[in-house]
Amino acid sequence: MSSEKKKVIYSAMQPSGVPSLGNYLGALKNWKNLQEEYNCLFGVANMHAITVRQDPTELRQRTRDLVSLFLAIGLDPEEHIIYVQSDVRAHAEIAWILNCFTYMGELNRMTQFKDKAAKHADNINAGLYTYPVLMAGDILLYQSDLVPVGADQKQHLEICRDIAGRFNSIYGDVFKVPEPYIPKVGARIMGLQNPERKMSKSESDNLNNVVYILDEPNVIANKIKRAVTDSDTEIRYGEDKPGISNLLNIYCSVTDKTPDEAVNDFKGCGYGEFKKSVGDAVVEHMRPIQEKFKEYSADRAYVERVMQNGAEKASYIANKTLNKVKKKVGYPIYK
Ligand code: TRP
């Protein structure tokens, strides 16, 4: 298939802390597999990140680290586009325009805003409120066909579609209206200490709850060893067994085995042995990624070249859409 014919898929991640095993198995690992079938854009959403207060030095470092991690998991900056959001000015420009096509009533319904406002009560800024508009711009600038979204971003994709549809109904077909991409396989990884809730990188209240992609092998093994189980002894899936089910899912994800195969592998095992095997499997899966991450992050010049090339390629596409939009809304056109 020629690259012209391929559909465009847009994904982005915020550089707000080291990604967790949940981020990796739930999102990043799938991104790698999209590359064959689609034209991909992989963004580092650092403009979204400043909706909560960040330490500047850390933010800059994490931004570069996330690019290194994208490279380490096998995202290809030649065939596809890896870029940092703030390096493409079109994002800020289109966000303002789209703000004028978004209703406060719509934004008032966003559950993530309500959650974040409650969590950061001392900094409920306008950026946090218009966050979904910035995100809509990300997607629409590249005429994206598809966006892989987890449950937490579904509402944001909906509002993006609404904004695009509204703009198109006024000005004609300017934006492609994106569809959600539901991965064929995708793991929803839960916390190790609190398997009722998603394993998220920002939930740092219990250090053993979250495995980070860059945790040392012994740290990974120990966190998994301490994962909560239950008073039963059986290794099987079950709603009554959230801890064991989660560990089985993690095992399936890193070994590419089916749930049945996984359960079979541990017939007659005790919990201790089971957890050790899951830990080993995770460590082995992460080892080459961690090694590559180390190599890339030691080569700052290369990573920055990737960022600059990516920004150039992304800007070229984004500016085409932006110029159309500017014309439509009546900004000056110079001959
Ligand atoms: N808001 C997303 C998140 O926190 C990151 C993001 C920014 C994104 N822009 C995007 C995701 C566009 C998909 C499409 O997970």
Most informative mutation of 40, 130, 156, 176 for ligand 1 (most atoms within 8 A of CB): 156
The helix/strand/coil state of 293 is helix
The alpha carbon of 88 is separated from its chain's Cα centroid by a whole number of angstroms, namely 19
Task: Band the pLDDT of 200: cuts 50, 70, 90.
Answer: confident
Query: Is residue 49 lining ligand 1, measured as CB closer than 6 Å?
Result: no
pLDDT digits 0-9 by tens, 106-123: 999 999 999 999 999 999
> What's the rounded Cα separation, in Å, for the pair 80 and 71?
11
- Residue 327 CB-half CA count within 13 A: 11
Task: Band the pLDDT of 151: cuts 50, 70, 90.
Answer: confident
**Over 60: is that where the pLDDT of 3 sits?**
no
- Residue 207 CB-half CA count within 13 A: 4
pLDDT recorded at residue 185: 63
**Over 80: is that where the pLDDT of 183 sits?**
no
Cβ contacts of residue 101 below 8 Å, gap of 6+? 163, 166, 167
pLDDT recorded at residue 202: 60
Residue whose entry in the numeric block shows the structure tokens 């739930």: 26
Task: Name the token pair of 100.
Answer: 């004028």
Percent of the chain with pLDDT over 90: 89
Residue from 29, 176, 201, 241 carrying the catalytic annotation? 201
Measured by CA distance, the residue closest to atom 11 of ligand 1 is 12
**Over 60: is that where the pLDDT of 306 sits?**
yes
Q: What CA dihedral angle connects 15, 21, 25 and 30, to 10 degrees?
A: 30
Nearest ligand 1 atom, CA 45: 7
Task: Name the token pair of 262.
Answer: 């996984």
Most informative mutation of 8, 14, 41, 130 for ligand 1 (most atoms within 8 A of CB): 14
Q: What is the sign of the dihedral through the CA atoms of 32, 34, 37 and 40?
A: negative
pLDDT recorded at residue 204: 57
The CB-based long-range contact list for 127-130 (8 Å cut-off, 24+ gap) reads 127/50, 127/51, 128/51, 128/52, 130/95, 130/99, 130/102
Alpha helices in the chain (DSSP H): 21-23, 29-34, 46-49, 56-72, 90-99, 104-108, 111-119, 126-141, 154-171, 217-225, 242-255, 259-265, 271-298, 300-329
pLDDT digits 0-9 by tens, 235-252: 999 999 999 999 999 999
**Over 90: is that where the pLDDT of 201 sits?**
no
Active site residue 335: no
**Over 60: is that where the pLDDT of 2 sits?**
no
Query: Is residue 12 lining ligand 1, measured as CB closer than 6 Å?
Result: yes
Cα separations (Å) of 70 from 12, 101, 279, 328?
A: 11, 33, 23, 36
**Over 90: is that where the pLDDT of 298 sits?**
yes
Q: Domains of the chain by range and CATH?
A: 8-183+300-329 (3.40.50.620), 207-294 (1.10.240.10)
Task: Band the pLDDT of 315: cuts 50, 70, 90.
Answer: very high
